[in-house]
Amino acid sequence: MRALIAAWDQLWFAPLDPRVPAALRIGYGLLGLWSYAGLWPTLAWSLADGGLGQGVGGLDASAVNLLANPLWSFTSLVEVQVAFLLWMACFVALALGVGGRLPMLGAWLGVLTLGERNPLLIDGSDGVLRVLGLWMLFLPLNAAWSLGRADPQAEEHSRWPLRMMQLQVCVIYVKTGLIKALYPTWQDGSAVFYAMASPKYWRFPMEELLASPVFQGFTVLATYATLVFELGFPLVFVPRLRRLWLLLGLGLHLGVFAFLSLGAFSEVILWSYLAFVVFPPSRRPSP
């Protein structure tokens, strides 16, 4: 019994390596700038009154609306532009490690509001940033690789928020794998071929590549390999298999990125792998 209790405490409450949340913080900031800075020229029609955001200011200030869309009352173009610039400043502050947890809160609220204000602007990558960003609010983000003041008690911080992030990534993969397994195209091995056959997602012309029998055989293998990888992703918690499974995921998403343009999904998922990284022991100079 004592062994089980000790294992439970080690799983959830063991001290946290401050370099892991620092890497996640920097990645979140850079991904935010990469994914959202390009929205600036579109704000007049995408988020402000008079465009696709018309009428959002008419929402009442109920608790539900405030939770779903914290910036519900900022609807004029000037208000939206100011809020947007503050949002970008939060991502910059995260990348630099200044401002404590406040920039993380501002960045996360911006991602949350964007999806509720105009769902046409978001995809699966925004959902991952929204969910994992919530758990990051509970991590000591500036304890390492930061220009700001570090938390002197960061190394004593328990790892439960990081575990929640890891479990969330597992849920994303397993749920996606289960849904895919129900479709006939994933069962007969043709799903990847049909996904790559849609020209609107191509990074380059692929007519000749898709006509190749060798490449068609590769897509069948890739279809079944994707199912095995996603359904088996919880094996990442087995220490001996963690590196293998992360490398398989790296190969999968780099392959998707090389052939298809699917927004920032591949980049965001690979960023989430930082939650599983085990850094080598730091070498501190001897006194």
Cα dist. 279→22, 37, 275 in Å? 12, 31, 11
What mean pLDDT, rounded, does the chain reach? 86
Determine the average pLDDT of the residues in 14-36: 93
Residue 284 lies in a domain: no
Mean of pLDDT values over 158-172: 93
pTM to 2 decimal places:
0.88
Q: Using the 8-state DSSP alphabet, how is residue 200 labeled?
A: G
- Residue 182 to residues 117, 185, 186, 235: CA-CA distances in angstroms? 32, 9, 8, 22
Q: Which residue has the higher pLDDT, 150 or 79?
A: 79
pLDDT of 199 higher than 80:
yes
**Of 241, 242, 262, residue with least CA distance to 253:** 262
User: Three-state DSSP class for 7?
Assistant: helix
- If asked whether residues 52 and 164 sit together in one domain, one would say no
Give the C-alpha separation, 73 to 102, whole Å: 21
143 shares a domain with 20 = yes
Kindly report which listed range (30-39, 155-164, 177-186, 261-270) carries the lowest average pLDDT score.
155-164
**Both 30 and 143 in a single domain?**
yes
pLDDT value of position 48? 84
33 with 86, same domain?
A: yes
Check residue 53 and give its pLDDT: 54
Domain-terminating residue out of 88, 117, 150: 150
Domain that holds residue 253: 159-279
CB atoms within 10 A of CB 156: 11
Say yes or no to pLDDT of 154 above 70. Answer: no
pLDDT of residue 45: 87
- pLDDT of 198: 85
pLDDT at 236 over 90: yes
* Nearest-angstrom CA–CA distance, 234 and 274: 16
Which of 150, 181, 209 delimits the end of a domain?
A: 150
Question: Are 23 and 110 found together in one domain?
Answer: yes
Q: Which residue would you say has higher pLDDT here, 73 or 65?
A: 73
Of the chain, the end-to-end C-alpha distance in Å amounts to 41
Domain boundary among 95, 130, 150: 150
Give the residue with greater pLDDT, 224 vs 101: 224
Please check whether residues 146 and 40 belong to one and the same domain. yes
In the three-class reduction of DSSP (H, G, I as helix; E, B as strand; rest coil), residue 245 is classed as helix
Q: Are residues 211 and 237 in the same domain?
A: yes
Q: Are residues 139 and 249 in the same domain?
A: no
Question: Does the structure show a pLDDT above 80 at 269?
Answer: yes
User: Both 144 and 204 in a single domain?
Assistant: no
Asked, for residue 27, whether it belongs to a domain, the answer is: yes
Tokens representing residue 152 in the block:
């002197």
- How many angstroms separate the CA atoms of 90 and 106, rounded? 6
Kindly state whether residue 1 falls inside one of the protein's structural domains.
no
Looking at the fold, whether 165 and 273 belong to one and the same domain comes out as yes
Residue 21, domain member (yes or no): yes
